[in-house]
Copies of this chain bind each other. A is one copy, B any other.
Amino acid sequence: MGRGHMARRNTNRRVGIADVAEKAGVSHATVSRVMNGNAAVDPGIAARVRAAAVELKYQPNPVGRSLALGKTDTIGIVVPDLANPTFQAILRGLSIAAAQDGYRVLIADSSEVTSEEAILAGEARRRCDGVVLCAPRMSDAELEELAPTLHPLVLINRTTIATNTPSLSVDYGQGIQELAQHLVTLGHRRLVFLSGPEHSSSNRQRLVGLDQFRKEHPEIELQMLYGGSNFDSGHDSTEAIVASGATGILAFNDLVAMGLLSGLHERGVRVPEDISVTGFDDIPFAKYTTPPLTTAAVPINELGSLAWRRMREQIQQAGEATTQAQDEFSPRVEIRKSTAAPALKPAS
Contact = CB atoms under 8 A, between A and B. Distances in A.
Interface of A: 1-2, 11-12, 59-64, 66-70, 72, 74, 82-83, 85, 88-89, 91-92, 95-96, 99, 104-109, 111, 122, 124, 126-127, 231, 235, 258-259, 261-262, 265, 284-285, 287-292, 318-319
30 contacts: A2-B68, A12-B318, A12-B319, A59-B126, A60-B126, A62-B126, A62-B127, A64-B67, A74-B127, A82-B95, A83-B284, A85-B85, A92-B109, A95-B109, A96-B109, A104-B106, A104-B107, A104-B124, A105-B106, A106-B107, A107-B107, A231-B284, A235-B288, A259-B288, A262-B289, A262-B290, A265-B290, A265-B291, A289-B289, A290-B290
Contacts of A259: 288
Nearest to A102: B123
B96 A92 contact: no
Given A91-B82, A95-B82, A127-B104, A63 B59 contact: no
Contact of A63 (B67, B82, B122, B235): B67
A311 to B, nearest CB: 15
A172 to B, nearest CB: 23
B284 A262 contact: no
A95 B82 CA distance: 9
A67 B69 contact: no
A63 B66 contact: yes
B287 A69 contact: no
Chain A contact surface mostly: helix
Which 9 pairs show the lowest CB-CB distances between chains A and B?
A290-B290, A2-B68, A262-B288, A82-B92, A62-B127, A63-B66, A258-B288, A265-B290, A88-B88
A337 to B, nearest CB: 8
B126 A292 contact: no
A243 B231 CA distance: 34
Contact of A287 (B262, B287, B319): B262
Nearest to A83: B92
Contacts of A290: 261-262, 265, 289-290
Given A88-B82, A92-B82, A231 B287 contact: yes
A59 B127 CA distance: 11
A261 B91 CA distance: 28
Contact of A258 (B82, B85, B285): B285
Contacts of A59: 122, 126
A33 to B, nearest CB: 12
A290 B289 CA distance: 7
B107 A95 contact: yes
Nearest to A124: B104
A70 to B, nearest CB: 8
A116 to B, nearest CB: 10
